[in-house]
Structure formats: structure tokens, C-alpha cells
């Protein structure tokens, strides 16, 4: 790679093939393409398919079709997360070796029961920025000998990050550079708001947070352009970058396209699916207008 190529900005659009792309994805993909073009940068496409129970090859093909219809082209080969589990496994191992990851044995049902018991006792349970209850401290505080016995017994478990220990060992507050449609400038990262995030799931390999952080670094991504729904998650990504010794991209979290009910679009929102709009005879220029791009 020449020095010149090295200096080019690298953007990526990273959809999950677990449904049809909708107008929100169109805004994200078009913004990535526009920003790459204006800065003379590169555009990568990453297929985030670690959750194999929800992702299908048909949805992946549909992503290629929808993007091509939008007039977007990307570099080949496309990175498919399901083909890189070893890289995420290595990152997890590094965090385990640093003493910052612990096996988490509680099922979703057990967490729910634990939280509602506490709430019934009148103890308010902290929630993460998405409204989900934080993982209880039970496994984090479990004596090593207990942990080893449960692991030796083959008990089903995830791996979680001990966020309090990780931030304490880091010893400094993290920030990120934000240029998007919400708060801008140097944003103070608050990974502790998420509690002990999952690094490796018991029902699917790796976690969104771990794989996205590893991939952005391995692919040399310099600019992450994605929806404001992932704004707060950036705090976790910054923490993982620091712990794993990875560079921090610039972040640009764009406005969300809301449905008629005022809520964020979901992949099941049939009438805003790009394929449905295409079938109604809309053109890619119409889509640009619909998502508010001139």
C-alpha cells in the first residue's frame, strides 16, 4: 500500500442481514457514500452476520440488490463477520488474560427474575441507555474457585466485561470525536452506563460490541457514520479500543428516519422497505429526497 492510499479516509456501511433494508439504511448508506466521495475516501461494505439464527443468505443478497439499485458501489471483497470469529476470539482472550472478562452464567430469565425481585423489595434497578436492566453483579463477584467449577462442569455461559475494573485500570476518562447530527465535538464516554456488557454470547458467537470494534480497526476504518441510535454505544467501543490497543475513528451519528408512529423504523416495517418502494416505481433519486438528502 502506498503512503497516499494509507492516508485516504475509510468509511463503512455495516448492515445485518436479518431483514430488508429500509429508508433508515438508505440514509446511512448514502451518507457514507457521499462522505467517502467528498473526501476522496474509500467505502467498504461489512455484513454483520454473527447472529446466525436471524441472518440469512437471502437477506444478504437483498442488501447487495438494494445498494446497487441506490447506485452505491463498494470495495470487494466484502467482509462477512461470520468468517472472522477467530479474530474476535483472540480479542476476547486478550481481555480474559488481562483479567477484565468473566464468565456470566445467568440466563435472560434469571436476570429478569433477579431484577424484579430487587424491584419488589423497593430497590430501583439501574438501566442502560437503551432501557435494559444492567447485568447483576452475581457472576462478577463469584469466587474464582466457584467460577472454575462451573466452567469445568460445562455450564452454559457468556463472557462479560468487568467495566468498573477496566475503567479503573485505565485511570482516565475517554472521549470521542463526534461530527454528527446530535451533540458534537469531544464527547465524554460513559461506558459504565452500560454495566458489564456482553463480549461473547452463549447463544451466538461474539457480541456486536466486540466484533464491530475489532472490525473497524482491522479494516482501517477512519470514519464511522451510523444512526444516532448507536451514539451511546460508542462509549463501549471507545473503552474496548483502549483496552485492545486499537485506534479510534471519528464518529458521525446521523439523524434517524422515523415511521408514521414517530418511532425508529424496524426491519419489519414493510412499507418503508426499499424493495417495496422500488416495486411501487420509485427511483433512487426519489429515495434521496425521501431521506432528506438534496
DSSP per position, 70-117: HT---PSSPEEGGG-HHHHHHHHHHHHHTT-EEEE---HHHHHHHHHH
Among positions 14, 161, 198, 239, the unique one binding ligand GLU when judged by CB under 6 A:
14
Q: Which is nearer to ligand GLU, 12 or 157 (CB)?
A: 12
Question: Taking the complex as a whole, how short is the minimal distance between the CB of residue 270 and ligand GLU, in angstroms?
Answer: 18
Question: Taking the complex as a whole, how short is the minimal distance between the CB of residue 253 and ligand GLU, in angstroms?
Answer: 10
Residues 174-233 contacting ligand GLU, CB under 6 A: 212, 226, 230
Q: Which is nearer to ligand GLU, 96 or 220 (CB)?
A: 220
Give, rounded to a whole angstrom, the gap between the first and last alpha carbons of the chain: 35
Q: Which is nearer to ligand GLU, 102 or 251 (CB)?
A: 251
Q: Which is nearer to ligand GLU, 167 or 211 (CB)?
A: 211
Question: Taking the complex as a whole, how short is the minimal distance between the CB of residue 25 and ligand GLU, in angstroms?
Answer: 8
Please choose, from the candidates 167, 161, 238, the residue with its C-alpha nearest in 3D space to the C-alpha of residue 206: 161
Rounded Cα distance between 161 and 148, Å, is: 17
Burial class (CB in 10 A: 0-12, 13-18, 19+), 213: buried
- Residue 290 phi/psi, 5-degree rounding, is -60, -35
Q: Does 17 bind ligand GLU (CB under 6 A)?
A: no
* Whether 180 contacts 234, CB under 8 Å: no
Q: Which is nearer to ligand GLU, 14 or 115 (CB)?
A: 14
Residues 94-153 contacting ligand GLU, CB under 6 A: none
Task: Output DSSP code: residue 22.
Answer: B
Contact string 38-67 vs ligand GLU (x = CB under 6 A):
----------x-------------------
Question: Taking the complex as a whole, how short is the minimal distance between the CB of residue 287 and ligand GLU, in angstroms?
Answer: 18
* DSSP β-bridge partners for residue 44: 12
Question: Taking the complex as a whole, how short is the minimal distance between the CB of residue 16 and ligand GLU, in angstroms?
Answer: 4
Q: Which is nearer to ligand GLU, 111 or 230 (CB)?
A: 230
Length of the chain (residues): 294
Rounded Cα distance between 13 and 1, Å, is: 22
The footprint of ligand GLU (CB under 6 A) covers 14-16, 48, 212, 226, 230
Amino acid at each position: 500500500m502506498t503512503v497516499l492510499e494509507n492516508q485516504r479516509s475509510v468509511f463503512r456501511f455495516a448492515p445485518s442481514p436479518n431483514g430488508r433494508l429500509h429508508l433508515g439504511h438508505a440514509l446511512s448508506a448514502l451518507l457514507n457514500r457521499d462522505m467517502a466521495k467528498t473526501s476522496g475516501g474509500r467505502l467498504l461494505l461489512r455484513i454483520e452476520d454473527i447472529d446466525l439464527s436471524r441472518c440469512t443468505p437471502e437477506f444478504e443478497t437483498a442488501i447487495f440488490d438494494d445498494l446497487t439499485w441506490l447506485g452505491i458501489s463498494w470495495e470487494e471483497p466484502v467482509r462477512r463477520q461470520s468468517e472472522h470469529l477467530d479474530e474476535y476470539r483472540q480479542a476476547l482472550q486478550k481481555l480474559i488474560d488481562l483479567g477484565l472478562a468473566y464468565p456470566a452464567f445467568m440466563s435472560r430469565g434469571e436476570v429478569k427474575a433477579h431484577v424484579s425481585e430487587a424491584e419488589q423489595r423497593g430497590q430501583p434497578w439501574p438501566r442502560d441507555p437503551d432501557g435494559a436492566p444492567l447485568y447483576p453483579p452475581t457472576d462478577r463477584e463469584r469466587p474464582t474457585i466457584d467460577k472454575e467449577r462451573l466452567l469445568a462442569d460445562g455450564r452454559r455461559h457468556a463472557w462479560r466485561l468487568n467495566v468498573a475494573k477496566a475503567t479503573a485500570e485505565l485511570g482516565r476518562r475517554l472521549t470521542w470525536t463526534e461530527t454528527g447530527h446530535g451533540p458534537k465535538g469531544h464527547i465524554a464516554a460513559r461506558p459504565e452506563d452500560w454495566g458489564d456488557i456482553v463480549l461473547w454470547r452463549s447463544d451466538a458467537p461474539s457480541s456486536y460490541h466486540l466484533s464491530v470494534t475489532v472490525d473497524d480497526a482491522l479494516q482501517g476504518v477512519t470514519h464511522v457514520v451510523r444512526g444516532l441510535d448507536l451514539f451511546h454505544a460508542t462509549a463501549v467501543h471507545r473503552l474496548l479500543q483502549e483496552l485492545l490497543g486499537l485506534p479510534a475513528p471519528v464518529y458521525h451519528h446521523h439523524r434517524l428516519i422515523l415511521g408514521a408512529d414517530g418511532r425508529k423504523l424496524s426491519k419489519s416495517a414493510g412499507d418503508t422497505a426499499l424493495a417495496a418502494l422500488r416495486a411501487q416505481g420509485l427511483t433512487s433519486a426519489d429515495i434521496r429526497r425521501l431521506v432528506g438528502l438534496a
